[in-house]
């Protein structure tokens, strides 16, 4: 029998996911339309209740699979923060642990999900005035995007946003999409290949495109980038 129950209040604990990927050169987030109250009909981050014997990270992976059809091998997952304002859910006391997931080549939302209506939305649009998200999900999304932007500076996270192997040009496009800013192509090339422990040359090339074939690399997205890339 729980020892604390008489004395302390029970909470509901959920996980919510900020799932980011690049589609058509734009940074996009997966949103689902809520089928029930509260906030019925509004767009929300995918997520759900944590099970009683489940680790928080496992709950995030489970929701990733259930709501988005994405397996754990296709994303990098990191804890973003926990949101627990007393009335963030108008009906109960719900504390949510938000997670940031970065992936590439993620499936069109549909296969075997609860959420009937799920869609990839460019983050600019998801954060525009006209889009009203459920709960405090706008804030969570803002925090997630900012975290992703910051992490590109000093980790190899960008590599999680494109299928491997990739060309330097593709990696360059990821940085420009996420940061929304132009970066000198030539200097980018030198800098990124010179970073110790980040890229691994496969020896292959991408044939068949326009122009000179590009070398293909794989990358370790857990690598620390030193010195960091700067946005400015």
Partner DNA sequence: CCAAAAGTGTTGCTCCTACACCCATGC
Partner DNA sequence: GCATGGGTGTAGGAGCAACACTTTTGG
Give the shortest CB-187-to-DNA separation in angstroms: 4
Q: Which of 28, 42, 44, 43 is nearest to 125 (CA)?
A: 28
Binding to its own copies by CB under 8 A, coded x per residue (else -) over 52-81, reads: xxxxx----------------------x-x
> Would you count residue 184 as binding DNA (CB under 7 A)?
yes
- In contact, 78 and 64? CB cutoff 8 Å: no
- In contact, 206 and 213? CB cutoff 8 Å: yes
Neighbours of 19 (CB within 10 A): 26
Which of 23, 72, 93, 147 lies at the binding interface for its own copies (CB under 8 A)? 93
Q: Which of 8, 222, 12 is nearest to 97 (CA)?
A: 12
Which of 182, 196, 208, 230 lies at the binding interface for its own copies (CB under 8 A)? 230
- Determine the interface stretch with its own copies among 167-175, 182-190, 215-223, 224-232 (rule: CB under 8 A): 224-232
Tokens of 215: 């070398």
Using a 10 angstrom Cβ sphere, with 0-12 exposed, 13-18 middle and 19 or more buried, the burial of residue 137 is buried
How big is the site for DNA, counted in residues (CB under 7 A)?
A: 24
Contact footprint for DNA (CB under 7 A): 167-169, 184-187, 189-191, 193-194, 205, 207-215, 227, 230
Contact footprint for its own copies (CB under 8 A): 2-5, 7-13, 49-56, 79, 81-86, 91-95, 97, 226-228, 230, 232
């Amino acid at each position: 029998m729980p020892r604390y129950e008489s004395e302390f209040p029970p909470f509901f604990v959920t996980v919510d996911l900020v799932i980011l990927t690049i589609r058509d050169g734009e940074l996009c987030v997966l949103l689902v339309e809520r089928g029930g109250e509260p906030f019925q009909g509004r767009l929300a981050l995918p997520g759900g209740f944590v099970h009683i014997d489940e680790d928080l990270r496992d709950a995030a992976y489970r929701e990733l699979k259930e709501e988005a059809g994405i397996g754990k091998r296709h994303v990098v997952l990191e804890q973003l923060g926990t949101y627990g304002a007393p009335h963030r859910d108008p009906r109960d006391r719900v504390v949510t642990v938000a997670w940031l997931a970065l992936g590439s080549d993620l499936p069109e939302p549909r296969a075997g999900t609860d959420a009937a209506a799920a869609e990839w939305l460019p983050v600019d649009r998801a954060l525009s005035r006209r889009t009203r998200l459920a709960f405090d999900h706008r804030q969570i999304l803002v925090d997630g995007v900012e975290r992703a932007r910051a992490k590109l500076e000093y980790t190899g996270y960008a590599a999680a946003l494109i299928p491997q192997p990739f060309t330097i040009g593709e990696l360059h496009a990821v940085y420009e999409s996420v940061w929304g800013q132009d970066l000198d192509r030539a200097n980018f090339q030198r800098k990124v290949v010179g970073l110790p422990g980040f890229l691994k040359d496969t020896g292959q090339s991408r044939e068949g495109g326009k122009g000179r074939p590009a070398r293909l690399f794989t990358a370790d997205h857990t690598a620390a980038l030193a010195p960091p890339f700067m946005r400015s």
